[in-house]
């Protein structure tokens, strides 16, 4: 058993994690005995107290137990989950907390963000192989299944959020960025048709699926609404009256609100505003900002259920239009 100690992690935790990894990789099996506290202290050159704390941590996780006759021995499997998300947002935090809150105490979750960096994504996957009992991953792309993920056994991989690619052999909990998005706009057509024009603020560097633009344009054609899509900062000419704006980035929402205030245009009357992905703060900004969103808390709860039961799940979460005062 190879244990590496570092200043970044306490010695007892390093020892506990090293034993956990050996169980996960099959180097230690249920029923195998561990070294006694004195033997482990001498072998790893750590104090008896460090070994005692490490063994107690493993007991807490349900990995080992002890009896006076047998000493310390392996009793169960390691439940160590990699949660690899794209980037940090408040609704991703909600996903993480609902997932963690719905797992037993002996499950450990490592939360990492790949920031839409393909090289980082592939490196994180490659270096994690064999270290986790379950991989819960937001794929790098909505259009293509990332090749690096094929190294993970399908029953140990749960795909989240993105999913407009062939994935029949894999469990997934995804959202539909196309037809479900279109249907949300249709649901709000009674409000949107009160405006002269719709504008989708969709920066070129955004990693949100670009197929949403076609769904937006189709809705505007069907409802005979004038529309435009702003991809570059240079194309932004400021907020216009009798226009409804749809934005994905929080900074674009702030820009629209501030610009409307500067031009003395009232959000919800002179100007309409819809945010993509709900956030608790949207309930209080300007008496409430309308949003289009899936329930990321529910996504986390469903992911936890799959981790515990391994019962196959292949589901697209409903996308909802949440009506507030901004339309």
**CATH at residue 41:** 1.10.10.10
Mean pLDDT of 310-326: 96
Q: Quote the pLDDT of residue 2.
A: 58
Give the pLDDT confidence of 124-151 residue by residue, as tens digits: 999 888 778 899 999 988 889 999 999 9
Q: What angle do CA 16, 22, 28 make, to 5 degrees?
A: 110
94 in a domain, yes or no?
no
pLDDT of 10 above 90: no
Mean pLDDT of 50-72: 90
Six-digit token string for 19: 């034993």
Mean pLDDT of 211-239: 95
- Choose one of 53, 74, 95: the last residue of a domain: 74
pLDDT of 5 above 90: no
Report the alpha-carbon distance of residue 57 to residue 278 in Å, rounded. 38
pLDDT of 190 above 80: yes
Mean pLDDT over each residue of the chain, to the nearest integer: 92
- Cα–chain-centroid distance for residue 195? 34
298 in a domain, yes or no?
no
pLDDT of 179 above 80: yes
**CA of 189: how far to CAs of 47, 185, 206, 237, 295, in Å?**
68, 6, 26, 25, 22
Q: Quote the pLDDT of residue 187.
A: 97
Q: Quote the pLDDT of residue 7.
A: 65
Give the pLDDT confidence of 232-274 residue by residue, as tens digits: 988 999 999 999 999 999 999 999 999 999 999 999 999 999 9
Mean pLDDT of 186-211: 95
Q: Give the gyration radius of the chain's Cα atoms.
A: 25
Q: Quote the pLDDT of residue 35.
A: 94
Identify the sign of the CA torsion 293, 137, 108, 73: positive
286 in a domain, yes or no?
yes
31 in a domain, yes or no?
yes
Q: What angle do CA 249, 250, 251 make, to 5 degrees?
A: 90
Report the alpha-carbon distance of residue 283 to residue 288 in Å, rounded. 4
The SS3 call for residue 120 is: helix
Q: Quote the pLDDT of residue 14.
A: 87
Q: Quote the pLDDT of residue 1.
A: 55
Where does the chain show beta strands of DSSP type E? 64-67, 71-74, 79-85, 107-113, 134-138, 157-161, 172-175, 197-201, 226-230, 243-247, 271-276, 290-293, 314-317, 320-322
- Choose one of 74, 92, 113: the last residue of a domain: 74
23 in a domain, yes or no?
yes
In the chain, the number of structural domains is 2
132 in a domain, yes or no?
no
Residue scoring higher pLDDT (10 or 192) = 192
Half-sphere exposure of 200 (CA within 13 A, CB side): 24
Spatial contact of 72 and 36, defined as CB atoms under 8 Å apart: yes
Range of the domain at 38: 11-74
- Choose one of 34, 57, 74: the last residue of a domain: 74
Which residues touch 44 (CB under 8 Å, ≥6 apart)?
3, 15, 51
Q: Quote the pLDDT of residue 261.
A: 96
**CA of 228: how far to CAs of 1, 38, 213, 281, in Å?**
61, 72, 10, 27
Q: Quote the pLDDT of residue 264.
A: 97
Sequential DSSP letters for 52-111: HHHHHHHHHTTSEEEETTTEEEE-S--EEEEEEESS--HHHHHHHHHHHHTS-TTEEEEE
128 in a domain, yes or no?
no
Q: What is the largest CA-CA distance in the chain?
A: 81
The SS3 call for residue 25 is: coil
Residue scoring higher pLDDT (169 or 26) = 169
Q: Quote the pLDDT of residue 312.
A: 95
**CATH at residue 188:** 3.40.50.2300
pLDDT of 184 above 80: yes
Give the model's confidence band at 119: pLDDT under 50 very low, under 70 low, under 90 confident, else very high. Answer: very high
CA end-to-end span of the chain = 61
């Amino acid at each position: 058993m190879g244990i590496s100690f570092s200043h970044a992690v306490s010695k007892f935790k390093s020892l506990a994690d090293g034993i956990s990894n050996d169980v996960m990789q099959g180097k230690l099996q249920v029923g195998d005995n561990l070294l006694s506290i004195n033997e482990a202290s001498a072998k790893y050159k750590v104090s008896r107290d460090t070994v005692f704390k490490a063994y107690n941590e493993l007991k807490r996780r349900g990995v080992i137990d002890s009896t006076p006759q047998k000493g310390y021995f392996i009793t169960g499997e390691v439940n160590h989950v990699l949660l690899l998300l794209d980037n940090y947002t408040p609704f991703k935090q909600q996903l993480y907390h609902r997932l963690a809150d719905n797992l037993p105490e002996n499950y450990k979750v490592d939360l990492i963000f790949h920031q839409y960096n393909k090289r980082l994504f592939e490196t994180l996957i490659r270096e994690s192989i064999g270290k986790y009992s379950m991989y819960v991953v937001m794929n790098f792309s909505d259009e293509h299944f990332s090749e690096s993920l094929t190294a993970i056994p399908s029953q140990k991989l749960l795909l989240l959020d993105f999913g407009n690619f062939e994935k029949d052999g894999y469990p997934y909990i995804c959202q539909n960025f196309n037809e479900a998005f279109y249907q949300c706009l249709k649901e709000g057509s009674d409000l949107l048709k009160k405006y002269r024009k719709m504008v989708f603020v969709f920066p070129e560097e955004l990693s949100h699926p670009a197929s949403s633009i076609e769904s937006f344009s189709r809705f505007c054609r069907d409802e005979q609404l004038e529309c435009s899509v702003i991809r570059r900062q240079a194309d932004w000419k400021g907020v216009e009256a009798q226009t409804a704006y749809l934005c994905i980035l929080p900074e674009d929402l702030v820009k629209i609100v501030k610009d409307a205030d500067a031009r003395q245009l009232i959000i919800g009357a002179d100007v309409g505003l819809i945010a993509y992905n709900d956030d608790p703060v949207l309930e209080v900004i300007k008496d409430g900002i309308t949003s289009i969103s899936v329930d990321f808390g529910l996504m986390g709860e469903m992911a936890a259920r799959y981790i515990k039961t391994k019962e196959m799940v292949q589901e697209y979460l409903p996308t909802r239009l949440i009506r507030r005062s901004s339309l």
